[in-house]
Structure 1
Amino acid sequence: MPIGIIVNSIVIILGGIIGGLLGHLATERIKYELNGVFGICAIAMGIPSITQMANMPAVILAVVVGTTLGLVFHFGQQIEKVAALMQRPIGKIFPHENLAISHDEFINSLVTAIVLFCASGTGIYGSLTAGMTGDHTILIAKSVLDFFTAVIFASNLGYVVSVIALPQFVIFFSLFLFASIIFPMTTPEMILDFKACGGFLMLATGFRMSKIRMFPTADMIPAMILVMPISWVWLTYVLPFLQ
């Protein structure tokens, strides 16, 4: 049973509802400062994963090629369209929901939240681990940060943050189901490189949340798909040739 995934989705729903209900009570300074703090937390979560990478050239290549493909095929724009579609039913349910940010800032923040909740290396790796070993501790630990992050995002974006739990559950549950197929095809080095690639996404997301640099995090998502095959090619063919 995907306990960790269920818990993670529930806390995002609850965080989104609480943030939507009580967000107006928090001052703009509190929202701004806490958003920066959670950005630093995301950065801190990404750094340990990056430092454990087994094959730096493979991970760097995956990030560069994956981001390039995302930019060429406008992957980020597709995510933005999804973000806009997610807001429509919420706008009908809560027609009087007033948001104190512009439409562009709303979409940028919502895309950041989608990437943070749905495409983090911690969440993807935690889902695979839960499906293969039954260990849900990684996802449970992620849920603690996700709850408070959802509250802060919802205080600015409204109840739409709760809807992110739906695509997140689909993605994580799919990984949970396919874990028994994916894991046997990997090596410890490939797993470390995969987590490192997720660390880069977490780092970029943290910079976006802290408004330090608006990295194209949505366009970086294809790197998560490429990193394991590239790591395998590096380990199997390139590294033996260099030794």
Structure 2
Amino acid sequence: MITDFWVKTSGTWINVLTVLIGTIIGLLLKQRLPPKIKEIIPQGIGLLTLWLGFSMAEELSNVEVRNMPGAILGLISMIIGGGLGEWWKIEERLNGIGDFLKKRFRHSGQFTEGFVATSILFCVGPVALVGSINNGLLGDNTLLVLKATMDGISSIPFASRYGIGVGFSVLVIILYQGGISLLAGLFVSNLNDPTNHPLILLITGIGGLMILGIGLNLLEVAKIRVAAFLPALLIPPILLLFIG
């Protein structure tokens, strides 16, 4: 049973390890980086995050269900999901978790900002979703290992900017990716070619819009309550159930 558990969730644990290593490296570099370097790092991350968000959001243009374009379905999902997120106070609750961990482990600075930003960045995306599904269904962790490498590298500059809060994002990675991997066999075993399925494309596109929000926040162009839109990822299955 332990072996089966490892096979289905191995990619998640590898991802956790790389983020922790990247966080440690980032913390070690934090005291050695000049102020201007520390300032330019999040700008570079922000620009790359915008590019990733645009690339993911483009998947909405590849979906059409009963003559309804993916952009409209994405808009409906974002509006309903954002409304639910504000109603459930997800942003405040997630920030509250970050604040609790900050006090519990006696850290100051931008602990909460780092925890929230990286938790969303590392978990919202096609690789996290499809990779977790592949890991859970087929025992194939290739996509998650690739993602783990990227997350580990990304966590270095994030940790140098935000601090140890970045490392605590592994708690969300375990719950999200590990949970999807374990439940994959129950919920998506009937999907043929998951990477091209309308449901996956819609979730990817909506995730891309959220990633764009993170990029804009990093560049301090706007203050978007990205966490409030998390329920939007749950709306596409309901929409497809009614119109599919």
Deviates more, 1:136-145 or 1:7-16: 136-145
Deviations 1:131-178 (A, max 9, x none): 223333332232233123211222233223212212211221110011
In the TM superposition, residue 121 of structure 1 has moved relative to its aligned partner by 4.4
TM-score, structure 1 as length reference:
0.83
CA RMSD of aligned residues (A): 2.1
Aligned twin of 1:45:
52
Q: Is the 8 A contact 1:122 1:195 kept in 2?
A: no
Deviation of the 1:106 alpha carbon: 4.6
- Asked if the contact 2:53–2:212 (Cα under 8 Å) also holds between the matched residues in 1, the reply is yes
Whether contact under 8 Å (2:217, 2:223) holds in the other structure is yes
Aligned counterpart, 1:191:
200
Output the amino acid matched with 1:32: E
1:186 Cα deviation from its structure 2 partner: 4.9
Code of the residue aligned with 1:83 in structure 2: it is: G
> Are 1:138 and 2:143 an aligned pair?
yes
1:230/1:20 CA distance change after superposition, 3 Å? same
Matches of 1:213 and 1:186 in 2, distance apart?
38
Runs of 4+ residues over 6 Å off in structure 1: none
CA pair 144-34 structure 1, distance change in 2 beyond 3 A: farther
Letter in 1 for 2:235: L
Preserved contact between residue 193 and residue 231 of structure 1 (Cα < 8 Å): no
> In structure 1, what is the Cα distance between the partners aligned to 2:126 and 2:98?
21
User: What residue in structure 2 maps to residue 69 of structure 1?
Assistant: 84
Q: Is the 8 A contact 2:214 2:226 kept in 1?
A: yes
Q: How far apart, CA to CA, are the structure 2 residues paired with 1:42 and 1:129?
A: 25
Give the 5 Å matches for 1:153-168: 153-168=158-173
Counterpart residue type for residue 159 of structure 1: I
C-alpha distance in 2 between matches for 1:145 and 1:81: 27
Structure 1 position 204 matched with structure 2 position 219: no
Q: Is 1:58 the equivalent of 2:73?
A: yes
Between 218-227 and 126-135, the greater mean CA deviation after superposition: 126-135
Is the CA contact 1:193–1:228 (under 8 Å) kept in the aligned structure 2?
no
* Alignment partners' CA distance in 2, 1:146 and 1:224: 21
Partners of 1:45 and 1:132 lie apart in 2 by 26
Q: In structure 1, the residue corresponding to 2:177 is in which secondary structure?
A: helix
TM-score normalised by the chain length of structure 2: 0.83
Counterpart residue number, 1:94: none
Q: Which amino acid aligns with 1:165?
A: V
SS at match of 1:164: helix
Q: Name the amino acid aligned to 1:42.
A: T
Instruction: Identify the range of structure 1 (178-187 vs 214-223) with the bigger mean alpha-carbon deviation.
Output: 178-187
Q: Which residue among 110, 113, 117 is the counterpart of 1:112?
A: 117
Separation in 1 of the partners of 2:15 and 2:24? 15
The one-character-per-residue Cα deviations of 1:72-98 (angstroms, maximum 9, x if unpaired) are 22110000001112223432xxxxx6x
Structure 1 pair 231/30, CA: closer, same or farther in 2 (3 Å)? farther
- 1:206, CA displacement in angstroms? 1.6
Q: Using the alignment, how far apart are the partners of 2:150 and 2:219 within structure 1?
A: 16
Determine the C-alpha separation between the residues in 2 that align with 1:118 and 1:85: 21
Change (3 A) 1:163 1:108: closer
Q: For 1:79-133, what per-residue CA distance to the aligned partner results, in whole angstroms no more than 9, with x for missing partners?
A: 0001112223432xxxxx6x6x5xxx55334322222123444323321232223
